[in-house]
């Protein structure tokens, strides 16, 4: 994975169960500029698969999922529209 972009927005959904991280992402993705990256911090294993699936469903781009040292992931989503 070569494309690591500094997120324009970080959503802290650590400790929250799905679908809360998705709801938070959907509510805030329009707060970043077009092509901006949102990092969703999540430790619910469902979020690891649900956020990329949401990206496909909504035509946004799943940039990558990066393990956090304290557990969980930073799931990067690029806003496409």
**The pLDDT of residue 26:** 98
Catalytic: which of 13, 18, 37, 63?
A: 18
**The pLDDT of residue 18:** 94
**CB within 8 Å of 31: residues ≥ 6 apart:** 9
Q: Where are the alpha helices (DSSP H) in the chain?
A: 20-28, 45-58
- Assess whether pLDDT exceeds 60 at residue 3: no
**CB within 8 Å of 9: residues ≥ 6 apart:** 28, 31, 32, 36, 37, 38, 39
pLDDT digits (tens, 9 = 90+) for 5-64: 799 999 999 999 999 999 999 999 999 999 999 999 999 999 999 999 999 999 999 999
| CATH code linked to domain 9-79 | 3.30.110.40
**The pLDDT of residue 49:** 97
Residue 18: active-site member: yes
pTM for the model:
0.94
């Amino acid at each position: 994975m070569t494309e690591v972009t500094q997120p324009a927005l970080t959503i802290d959904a650590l400790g929250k169960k799905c679908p809360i991280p998705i709801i938070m992402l959907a509510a805030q993705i329009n707060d970043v500029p077009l092509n901006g990256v949102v990092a969703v911090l999540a430790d619910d294993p469902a979020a690891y698969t649900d956020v990329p699936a949401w990206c496909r469903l909504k035509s946004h781009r799943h940039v990558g999922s990066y393990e956090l040292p304290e557990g969980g992931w930073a799931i990067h989503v690029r806003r496409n529209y």
